[in-house]
Amino acid sequence: MNSKFVSVATAAIMTVAAGAANAEPQAEVLHWWTSGGEAKSVAVLQQEFDGRGGTWTDMPVAGGGGDAAMTALRARVLAGNAPTAVQLKGPAIQEWYEEGVLADISSVAKANGWADVLPPSIANHMKCEDTWCAAPVNVHRIDWIWANADVLSRNGIKMPTTWAEFNAAAAKLQAAGVTPLAHGGQAWQDATVFEAVALGIGGADFFQKAFVDLDPATLKSDTMVKVFDQMRTMRGFVDSNFSGRDWNLATAMVMNGEAAFQIMGDWAKGEFLAAGKKPGVDFLCASTPGEGFLYNVDSFAMFSVDGKDKKDGQLLLAELIVGKNFQKVFNLNKGSIPARVDVALDEFDSCAHTSAKDMADSNKGGSLLPSYAHGMALRGAQAGAITDVVTAHFNSDMSSADAVKMLADAVANSL
Ligand code: BGC
């Protein structure tokens, strides 16, 4: 063998070896954070990951609520090519674990003491049997009502504290030529409004029995009839172009004074903030009428992948996600509050303080409940069955009596 060849070959082998030893952490991250406020928030994670030597490949799938992202995920997993990290939450985490496709991130959880800094109610969602299989980012609240401060004051209206007050305010606004309720006619947005109304009208026990326990009698109860009645009333408060509208465009209608209110989780606040709007000045936040707190915890699960660079990427991402600084900066942008209990809220606004206080109070009072509309309470089939009925009712002249019958049947057939 000539010596030139040997040295070239040796150099090549050394380069490969060095490359493997220094392989940078890689992550292909599937998420649905594509609105202004959402993109600003996820950029914080990307920057931290890059700052630690990682290479981030972004896989955003637009579509509020994540239905399109979950369809994309299924296709990738079926093709045997799962992304390394996926925005995934609630029982869907355990559903994917049961498919045998999730990576175990217990080593990071243990090394970073997650059990000591996460409330048990959140930590439980992140566990699959005796392993940690997801990392939580935040706590979003669903049962919020957002309002344009100027529109309310010009029309002599205060934030409603009962559904009757809401209906009266909406009628007054409508008479004044303002769209009372900014809404996007997409199934998950209908479900978002519906669950806030259900909690408000029925209370925490009713919500628990209906959307967590799937109790047939509660699903077809007189109280559920009243919930659908209120949905019918609210259908009359949306503008004629609501069908198919994205949630952030509905938020923009409130921002620019075209509409007065939006009922939406606090990612809407992320949108107001990204547009430079100030809480208490430009926009107002209040919990929707009634007691309780509907929580929605965003989290990331890691899928089983080959290659040290990808595995390192997963562990690094998991560590950063539950990191104290990330939880602060991300949530300041996202509109949510940190999942960690030890992050000071000094820099957070009044809406975030309300959220943290109400969460603690409702936890004590037994009215802290998982959002069904955002995949925290039920498995996909049952949540989908409920949402189909909610949407069918909202977009037709179906009576409330027919809707509750259909609801109980749809849930029974989905089990
Ligand atoms: C997610 C939020 C997201 C919202 C709108 C919710 O299900 O939890 O993080 O901003 O959908 O896409």
pLDDT tens, 72-102? 999 999 999 999 999 999 999 999 999 999 9
Contact 320, 45 (CB under 8 A): yes
Distance 63 CA to ligand 1 centre (A): 9
* pLDDT > 80? residue 170: yes
Mutation choice for ligand 1 from 299, 374, 376, 378, CB with most ligand atoms inside 8 A = 374
Contact 305, 314 (CB under 8 A): yes
**Atom 8, ligand 1: residue with shortest CA distance:** 298
Place of tokens 């079926």: 78
Q: Which atom of ligand 1 is nearest to the CA of 37?
A: 10
Q: Where are the alpha helices (DSSP H) in 282-399?
A: 308-321, 324-334, 350-365, 380-394
Q: Is 145 helix (H, G, I), strand (E, B) or coil?
A: strand
The tokens for 114 are 């997650």
Rounded to whole angstroms, the Cα distance separating 341 from 120 reads 11
Q: Which atom of ligand 1 is nearest to the CA of 270?
A: 10
The tokens for 394 are 């909202």
Give ∠ CA 351-357-361 in degrees, rounded to 5: 140
Distance 74 CA to ligand 1 centre (A): 19
* pLDDT > 80? residue 20: no
Mutation choice for ligand 1 from 34, 296, 336, 387, CB with most ligand atoms inside 8 A = 296
Q: Which phi and psi (to 5°) does residue 236 adopt?
A: -75, -10
Band the pLDDT of 22: cuts 50, 70, 90.
Answer: low
* pLDDT > 60? residue 17: no
**Atom 9, ligand 1: residue with shortest CA distance:** 298
Mean predicted confidence (pLDDT) in 115-129: 97
Band the pLDDT of 15: cuts 50, 70, 90.
Answer: very low
The per-residue pLDDT of the chain, averaged, comes to: 95
Q: Which atom of ligand 1 is nearest to the CA of 298?
A: 8
* pLDDT > 90? residue 162: yes
- Which residues lie with the beta carbon below 6 Å from any ligand 1 atom? 32, 38, 64-66, 140, 267, 296, 298, 374
Distance 16 CA to ligand 1 centre (A): 42
HSE toward the beta carbon, residue 148, CA cutoff 13 A: 22
CA distances from 332 to 178, 220, 349 (A): 31, 40, 8
